[in-house]
């Protein structure tokens, strides 16, 4: 099987999937727990590829399998069945998903596992092609078919007889990150936007909000499991509830009502908002963030570019002037606001002056955090049909220039924090450098995507531990990270 890795016509593989500056993320679903479920249950190895929305899906899959008698593990080498939750967002992620499936099939051929299952985004879009090209996979289930996973495994005698284990009436979630005090709340599925570069609607469909009461119940359950920080996620978080209002009328909840219900209905100390389209930010939302301490003054606002010509070609709703106005308004209204954004370089037709416009806007607005990526052509999107592709070598040069600019801005922003005393959430003990005792994050540092705060020593009489909050005096700042001293 491994000999065919270079011949797949669906996703041509490359020797270096990180080559475009978009390192795909991989996480074993039970990384924090090692294993979950009955000791004598069949061992199922669950691997998650892709974004935090996939992580939530995998935590639900894991809970469902555990609830039906399986022992779910992150150690695929010792598993009887391997389940791969695939990602199909960009080319590098597709390649990684295919490589992972091929490796799992190799383990099956060598007799180490009995079956290989692939689920998720890539399968949703390319199920027929994957079935033809990798017939060794025993089961392929797209996003709309995940409820068939347990019945199909039972039909293949890979799960216990239903009479021998209790059936879960409503699957919950098994926390999966290495920092179980931080988790995600996915408030909707799909996306109504038609961004030219994005294939998400082709895989996850149109926007569908989850019911408010179910989200509050899920968040409350996470808090009861020890979660101190919930990252609120979706494809466009500001879009929450608009479909509910179309269906149920003007009394249906929007994002501010959901956040108010989460604060009122849970004890979780921190809620952090991601995927906030600037055009969807309302005055009521801003006022809520400004007055409610548990909704962090941190917004992830994806812009994608700074040139009006490219923003138009991307079919994005914002323009340079509206971005300036919105950022200024947000910073004036919300004290100590941290702003994060993401941008794409190398979009088809991007000229030197377009790229300079992007750099100029980043230097003017001085975002605290910027994630930058090289454009990835995706089949079926409008951008894939556009002329004037940007050569990969030029896109890489632009990406490095942008990184250089943002590193300087990030250093300046971090040095501005020196001398302040702030709240921080402890993640884990420091193992990389003996100078530091713990690794923590401030309100302005999100898990995995931002820097961290290195703690210099242990506060007297107040021992720290993962998931604990502490006050920290910031004593130094680097390009990405802060250095702090606990003060109580």
Which CATH number belongs to the domain containing residue 98 in this structure?
3.40.50.12160
Higher pLDDT, 201 or 294: 294
133, 201: one domain: no
| Distance in angstroms (rounded) separating the CA atoms of residues 80 and 64 | 17
Same domain, 19 and 91: yes
Mean pLDDT (whole number) for 407-426: 96
Would you say how long the chain is, in residues? 488
| Beta-sheet pairing, 208-209 with 369-374 | unpaired
Looking at the fold, whether 228 and 122 belong to one and the same domain comes out as no
> Would you report the helix, strand and coil content of the chain in percent, each value rounded to 5?
40, 20, 40
Q: Which residue has the tokens 């041509």?
A: 12
Q: Name the band, by pLDDT with cuts 50, 70 and 90, for residue 453.
A: very high
Is 37 contained in some domain?
Answer: yes
Tell me which DSSP letter residue 480 carries.
S
Q: Do both 411 and 433 map to the same domain? A: no
Final residue in a domain of this structure, among 164, 197, 225: 164
Total number of domains constituting the chain: 3
What's the rounded Cα separation, in Å, for the pair 129 and 132?
5
Residue 455 pLDDT > 90: yes
- 410 and 445 together in one domain: no
Beta strand 453-455 with 438-442 is antiparallel
Residue with tokens 């108010």: 260
Contact in structure between 476 and 482 (CB atoms under 8 Å) = yes
Using 50, 70 and 90 to split pLDDT, how confident is the model at 32? very low
pLDDT at residue 71 in the model: 87
Q: How far is C-alpha 65 from the geometric centre of its chain's CA atoms?
A: 23
Q: Is there a single domain that holds both residue 464 and residue 480?
A: yes
Q: Taking a C-beta distance cutoff of 8 angstroms, is the pair 49, 24 a contact?
A: yes
Asked if 316 and 435 sit in the same domain, the reply is no
Give the separation between CA 157 and CA 136, rounded to whole angstroms.
18
Residue identified by tokens 């300046």 is 412
pLDDT at 6 over 70: no
Question: In which band, very low, low, confident or very high, does the pLDDT at 33 lie, cut at 50, 70 and 90?
Answer: very low
Indicate if 68 and 98 belong to the same structural domain.
yes
Its domain, for residue 471, covers: 421-486
Q: Kindly indicate the confidence band of residue 170, based on its pLDDT and cuts at 50, 70 and 90.
A: very low
CB 171 within 8 A of CB 63: yes
Question: Has residue 174 got a pLDDT over 80?
Answer: no
Using a pLDDT cut of 70, give the percent of the chain over it: 90
177 found inside a domain: no
Which of the 8 DSSP states describes residue 352? H
**DSSP-derived 3-state class of residue 373:** strand
247: CATH: 3.80.30.20
Average pLDDT value for residue range 43-51: 90
What is the pLDDT confidence band of residue 456, given thresholds at 50, 70 and 90?
A: very high
Helix (H, G, I), strand (E, B) or coil at 278: helix
Please tell me whether residues 368 and 245 are part of one structural domain.
Answer: yes
Q: Same structural domain for residues 408 and 429?
A: no
- At 60, list the tokens: 């639900």
Are both 275 and 316 inside the same structural domain? Answer: yes
pLDDT tens column, 83-115: 999 998 888 888 999 999 999 999 999 999 999
- Of 311, 368, 305, the closest CA to residue 334 belongs to 368
In a domain, 170, yes or no: no
Co-location of 123 and 213 in the same domain = no
Q: Is there a domain that residue 372 lies in?
A: yes
- Could you give the 3-state DSSP secondary structure of residue 338? strand
Average pLDDT of the chain to the nearest whole number: 87
pLDDT in the model for residue 459: 66
Q: From residue 244, give the alpha-carbon distance in Å to each of 70, 190, 191, 307, 346.
A: 36, 14, 14, 34, 37
pLDDT at 177: 72
| DSSP 8-state symbol, 300 | E
In this prediction, residue 2 carries a pLDDT of 31
pLDDT of residue 167: 53
Query: Lowest-pLDDT range, 88-102, 233-247, 263-277, 409-423?
Result: 88-102
Largest CA distance in the chain: 67
pLDDT of residue 13: 27
Task: Give the residue-averaged pLDDT of 361-379.
Answer: 95
Residue 488 has pLDDT above 80, yes or no: no
In a domain, 171, yes or no: no
> Which of 95, 130, 164 is the last residue in one of the domains?
164
């Amino acid at each position: 099987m491994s000999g065919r890795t270079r011949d797949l016509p669906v996703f041509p593989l490359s020797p270096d999937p990180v080559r475009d500056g978009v390192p795909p993320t991989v996480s074993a679903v039970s990384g924090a727990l090692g294993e979950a479920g009955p000791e004598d249950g069949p061992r199922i190895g669950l691997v998650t590829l892709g974004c935090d929305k996939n992580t939530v899906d995998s935590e639900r899959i894991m809970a469902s399998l555990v609830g039906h008698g399986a022992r779910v593990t992150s150690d695929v080498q010792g598993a009887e069945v391997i389940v791969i939750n695939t990602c199909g967002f960009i080319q590098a992620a597709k390649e990684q998903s295919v490589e992972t499936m091929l490796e799992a099939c190799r383990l099956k051929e060598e007799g180490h596992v009995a079956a290989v299952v692939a689920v998720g985004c890539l399968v949703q879009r390319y199920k027929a092609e994957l079935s033809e090209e990798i017939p060794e996979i025993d089961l392929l289930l797209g996003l709309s078919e995940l409820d068939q996973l347990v019945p199909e495994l039972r039909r293949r005698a890979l799960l216990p007889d239903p009479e021998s284990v209790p059936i879960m009436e409503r699957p919950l979630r098994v926390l999966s990150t290495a920092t179980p005090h931080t988790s995600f709340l996915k408030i909707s599925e799909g996306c109504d936007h038609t961004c030219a570069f994005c294939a998400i609607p082709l895989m996850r469909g149109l926007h569908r909000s989850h019911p408010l009461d179910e989200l509050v119940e899920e968040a409350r359950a996470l808090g009861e499991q020890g979660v101190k920080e919930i990252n609120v996620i979706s494809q466009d978080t500001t879009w929450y509830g608009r479909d509910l209002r179309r269906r149920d009328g003007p009394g249906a909840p929007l994002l501010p009502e959901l956040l108010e219900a989460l604060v009122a209905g849970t004890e979780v100390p921190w809620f952090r908002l991601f995927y906030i389209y600037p055009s969807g930010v309302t005055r009521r939302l801003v006022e809520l963030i400004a007055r409610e301490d548990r909704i962090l003054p941190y917004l992830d606002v994806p812009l994608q570019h700074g040139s009006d010509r490219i923003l138009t070609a991307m079919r994005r709703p914002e323009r340079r002037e509206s971005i300036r106005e919105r950022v200024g308004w947000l910073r004036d209204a919300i004290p100590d606001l941290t702003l994060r954004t993401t941008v794409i370089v190398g979009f088809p037709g991007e000229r030197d002056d377009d790229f300079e416009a992007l750099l100029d806007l980043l230097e003017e607005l001085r975002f605290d955090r910027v994630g930058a990526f090289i454009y990835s052509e995706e089949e079926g999107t409008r951008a894939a049909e556009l002329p004037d592709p940007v050569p990969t070598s030029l896109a890489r040069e632009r990406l490095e220039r942008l990184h250089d600019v943002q590193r300087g801005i990030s250093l300046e922003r971090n040095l501005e924090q020196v001398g302040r005393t702030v709240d921080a959430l402890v993640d884990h003990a420091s193992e990389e450098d003996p100078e530091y005792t713990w690794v923590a994050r401030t309100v302005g540092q999100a898990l995995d995507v931002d820097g961290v705060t290195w703690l210099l020593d242990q506060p007297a009489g107040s021992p720290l531990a993962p998931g604990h909050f502490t006050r920290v005096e910031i004593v130094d700042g680097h390009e990405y990270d802060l250095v702090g001293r606990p003060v109580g």
